[in-house]
Amino acid sequence: MTAITSARGNTEMVNVRRTESHDVSGIISLISYFTEKMFGRINVIYLLEKANLAVTLSNEKNEVFAHAAFLDYPNWNLVDQADWESFLHENYSDEKCTPLNTLFMHLFVAKDEYAVGCAQEIIRTVFKAVPEVHFILLFIPSVVDLGPGLGAFFEQMTSVPGSTVDVDFTLFVCHRHQHCPQLYIRKARVEDHDDLMPIFMHHNEILRETYGEYFLAELIDAQDEKNHAVVCEDDGTAVGFMSVCSEVNIQLLHDCFDLGPFHGLCKPHPDDILILPQEPSIETDEDKSSQTSQEAESVLSQNSECISAHDMDIQMDTKTEDILPQTLDVVTSHSTTESVQHNVSEEGVNTVSNAELPVDDVRGTDLKATGTPTLETDERDSFHPVYRGAVTAFCIQLFCIDEKHETRSLDFLQYVFNLFPDKDFCIITVPHLVPEFLLIQNFVRVNPSSNSTLDHELYVFHRAGLLKSFKVRAATTSDTPAVEMLIKTLDLNDSILDDLKVFTQARRDPDGTPVQAFVAEVLDQIVGISVIKNEMDIEYIRSHYNIEDFIYFSHHQQEEHGHLYHFALNPIFHHYTKYFLKEILRLAYKSCLYYPIYPQSVDGEFQNPYAHSLTSALHYMVPVRPRRQIVYPLEKLGINAPSKQVSKDQLSYALNHINRKLMLEPKVSINARIVVVGASNVGISFLETLIFCPHLKFNNLTLISTHGLPGKNPPDSKNRGFLIHSHCFNDKDYAWMSLCSWVNVVVGKMTGIDRATKHVVVSKGKKVPYDHLVLCTGQQYQVPCPTGAEISKLQTNREVIHSGKQRYTGEVPTNLFNLSDDEDCLKAGHWLKENFINSHGNVIVYGNTIDIYSTAQTLLSLGIHGSRIHLVQPPLSSNVTCLNNNAIEKAVKEALSKNDVRVYYDSILAQWNEGDHPNPITCASFTTNTRPFKLQCTAFFNFSNKGVDYETFKAINDACLVYDGRLVIDANFHTNDVTIRAAGPLTKFSNIYYANEWTHSNFSSKEIGFQLAAAMLNLFDPTLESVSEPPEDLDRLIPMYKGCKIQGGVLPGGYNYLHISKPGIPTHLDVQITQPNYGMQIITGDATKGNYFRIHVNQYSMVETITCLSKEPFPVSNYICLFGQHERVLNNLCSRWKEGLIKDLYSYFREPWSMAIYHDRFIDLKKELRQILISSQGDGLPSLEQLVHQIVDGELILSEKPKKYLKRFFQQNIYKRRVEEGILSYLHYNNYHLPMYAWPGIV
């Protein structure tokens, strides 16, 4: 909070922040006649949509005191927004204004008596928030006075003789140096000690405790040729300190980081070894991918924040292997690329070395943008380039600056580079857990190598990065050779050049879409290229992605939406990425840019119709969440169906977005190493939640998984049906997330956890360091352990000692299948096709979970005759069956019998191969309650004995984490190690909660993952308020999650099955129905006929359970939306059922009235309507909630029934009209999804 003083001497505490949408009404209330004379008639919402920066001052009551909006082109439309720079230079004497250092004020309003103080605070905030800005310009009509608020800080700019500027307007300027000047940098002196120590001590006292009271004075006194100490001062007082040293442990950096993009921070030398020497043999794809050009200097690839694949010893997914190294080995010819070699002392740089300016761009569609892609073991992993040249880097040893002056941190660099004229790079290392401060936000983060154990991040800044002559302009034909040289080693360079040629020749691509190309120049050398096109599919984007989380769609014209196709920028100027994007928007007359990332198919190459250049700009864009889509009954809706633009089905992709508002909005970079073990639904949901935080950028997310990321297999694969589906995620979800763009993937299995050194041991002994470890491996089907009973002795189950928890330690048969994920299912399907389908023999499916039925149906669908399939079910551990519905069980049994599938009940595995060597299994014997039996076996599918994998258990147990049948956690997901969290079926709650029957297995895995991420975000998200400790009487309660549990799949007989239920402890359905508070069930159809639909409505009239069994496919995502709805919302479901009006629930929920319920924003409508009812809508008028409380408490005496009174009160007062307005507004705004509804004005 900041104090401002009024003209009368009154003081008010105000908070300076970015403007939010709820400020609009407060801003409008401050607009006066004088405001309109100065700025014109302003549409505030429209202005905020297009403003690059909008600042609001509010007091402790959140009342708006002042507001200002700034754009990157002049107000009053005096000149074309793309041409203002030349206009300014031609007509005004001050020629220092450039698009990089200038903003224009388009609106300023304030409470009159506080105008001066508010204006000063806003201007100071702008200069602090945008360090590059040196001038704020403002055009106003010549007949209007600036007024006391702005007049104190703006001065008039004089026009040059012969100026053609409109005499009706006057230009005013506000200079940075009057409010937040650049700091004076000088050599440090011992007497600076007293000024600097309080700044150091403000952060921590570790340095003083380690090095003594006068460590700073000693450091300053020890300066020599290799060590320098400098300070920045403000008004004669030292307010910042930097210690730099030319001695760099370059070998350590080479070992721990991928410095190839910077030529190892060394001068080029003819004896440099940049590639792995090749043996004379036929070159494989892997060999090709490991090469870099012998004469080339490596270039920073798109994955500027990831671990290099060259150095990882962990198995790589071969599907990604072919494409990955190309993203890391992009090169630019050192011998041919021109370099910046000018003396530019006026730019603040004495000399820019002849190091080349490499390009920062990688093409591809399914690549990691900010983390490590999947990794493999290879001989080249141990190879490191050898650099013989002199080291050309110096390091920052110590840096600290007063918080008030932190935005001027970059002022140090010009001075310290002058101290080392022979050095090109300034480097700094910071611990992973240190938040990214303003200085290093201008540096480039270097990829750590896979074997790095250094607990620091490395940041690099090149001398040329200080240049301010960064200019963006439209590309011309003459730029083609320079652009070609810039991108010659990129994999999609031909595509970029083709699009550039289209722009220079026709300005449109062959289908008529407008194309625009822009280049970035520094000292007349091209250092960047970007190609955009008009976004022609904006209606599809609006209907399928939540872009309205970031923009008000109606305030953007269709031609203002652009599609980013290519973006390549020299990494030296990486910190100008947002400025490059901002200039593209200004020069192209766009307000938004969209960048899709399409999924890469298993056997796909890059050259597909959707190939874009994967861009480093991705880090500065925000990932956009997809929207849940309604499954429309198109034939039933007819002409009332949505347009094809909305309902069409096309290849799904992850969408990234940036707009004018976000250009100057900083992201918070988080370098903490968060390692997730297990690609379970919980783990994927956790990662999804983190990556979709628009204001956070996680640089070190790592997933350890035995099969890498899910969602890589063909979507139409029949082999997926082996396992029942949880409907947490599907292939479209994985494509929409594009986790591979944000998450490092280590393909391997966790075998150990070292809590002391904080690393996870993965297959083959490789180590993955962590700061926060998340364990969510779930439970898998374990190899069953035969009891060893000899069936020749006719033993029964009662005579056999059987423990389902006994672990099998023998050799695992090759024809035994324990399926856990899609990858296992795919392998099993391939094995069956190659070894079983066209041969003889039986397949045994053993277990009593629902997966045995889905597997039996999959086997039948593969063409295996039912007589070859044997379902063997061990005894149940409780009276609850896996289907828990007599009608469905009957239908499934009849279908199995009809297909000649034999089913054996209460059978326990006794022996494989009669006790002989079990690999492969040729027969299996089982004991029952009566006579044992033996079956010939060619393939054995096991769905019994689900539990924690033994290697996972051993890693957890050896790490001394508390394990009691499962990994023990508290209500906040913590294990007994504060840095290790766990979630999902792997875990159980501690015994202190006295709730052993409740575990995460009882809840939705997707919701568990979301809540886990929400708990961890409190550690990283500065926008979240700190979580207070729960009261003592509540800290022993386990959290109860509300999301529904879902099971779905195809059962024998071709029945499509779906079961949606609330979280709970499994209870037999017949027992549930007998409870007095059960509610009612609504059933239509017959399970055996394949049209069964059951809905359970609880005692509170809420839908609690949905069960479907149908021969025909049905819209699962629609039915999931029914869970938790009140039956009245479902068109008075119960009363219609009782009146006999509902004959078929499938048809009922296909009717047009139900479409709004399936809409993704229906929940927002319900919240809005509830808010109307619980808040007072008029002076002295109580809310409906208050009335209910008064009636319940007996404060209101009624002469009629309460329900009748409340209904009459609702209808006679403003509430009814407000509710109707809310519903109509919802239908009108979402008309593109819900055209089947009518509203006043269209009928």
Encode pLDDT of 610-660 as tens digits. Answer: 567 666 788 899 999 999 999 999 999 999 999 988 888 888 899 999 999
State whether the Cα torsion 820-823-829-833 is positive or negative. negative
Torsion of CA 830, 832, 835, 839, to 10 degrees: -140
Encode pLDDT of 23-45 as tens digits. Answer: 999 999 999 999 999 999 999 99
CB atoms within 10 A of CB 243: 21
State whether the Cα torsion 418-421-423-425 is positive or negative. positive
Q: What is the mean pLDDT of residues 689-702?
A: 94
HEC readout, 796-858 = CHHHCCCCCCCCCCCCCCCCEECCCCHHHHHHHHHHHHHHCCCCCCCEEEEECCCHHHHHHHH
Encode pLDDT of 968-978 as tens digits. Answer: 999 999 999 99
What is the b/e burial string over 437-452, where b = at least 16 CB atoms within 10 angstroms of the residue's CB?
Answer: eebbbbbbbbbbbbeb
Encode pLDDT of 826-871 as tens digits. Answer: 999 999 999 898 888 999 999 999 999 999 999 999 999 999 999 9
- Say if residue 920 is preceded by a cis peptide, omega within 30 of 0: yes
Mean pLDDT for the chain overall: 85
Q: Are the CB atoms for 254 and 420 separated by under 8 Å?
A: no
C-alpha span between 812 and 1131 (Å, rounded): 56
Whole-structure pTM value? 0.90
1089: pLDDT strictly greater than 50? yes
Q: pLDDT at position 803, please?
A: 59
Q: pLDDT band at residue 311, thresholds of 50, 70 and 90?
A: very low
Encode pLDDT of 504-520 as tens digits. Answer: 999 999 999 999 999 99
Least confident of 314-328, 675-689, 764-778, 1061-1075: 314-328
Q: What is the mean pLDDT of residues 884-899?
A: 95
Q: In what order do the strands lie in the sheet with 456-462?
A: 184-187, 227-234, 237-245, 393-401, 425-431, 456-462, 444-445
Q: pLDDT band at residue 1028, thresholds of 50, 70 and 90?
A: low
Q: How many CA atoms lie within 13 A of 407 on its CB side?
A: 18
Residue scoring higher pLDDT (49 or 304): 49
Q: pLDDT at position 610, please?
A: 59
Least confident of 274-288, 595-609, 821-835: 274-288
Q: pLDDT at position 354, please?
A: 28
Encode pLDDT of 518-575 as tens digits. Answer: 999 999 999 999 999 999 999 999 999 999 999 999 999 999 999 999 999 988 898 9
C-alpha span between 94 and 420 (Å, rounded): 34
Q: β-strand 331-333 against 296-298: which pairing, if any?
A: antiparallel
Looking at residue 721, its amino acid is: G
Q: pLDDT band at residue 158, thresholds of 50, 70 and 90?
A: confident
Q: What is the mean pLDDT of residues 1050-1065?
A: 95
Q: pLDDT at position 1037, please?
A: 87
Residues in Cβ contact with 624 at an 8 Å cutoff, skipping those fewer than 6 apart: 545, 546, 547, 549, 550, 655, 656, 657
Q: Are the CB atoms for 682 and 999 separated by under 8 Å?
A: no
Q: What is the mean pLDDT of residues 462-476?
A: 93
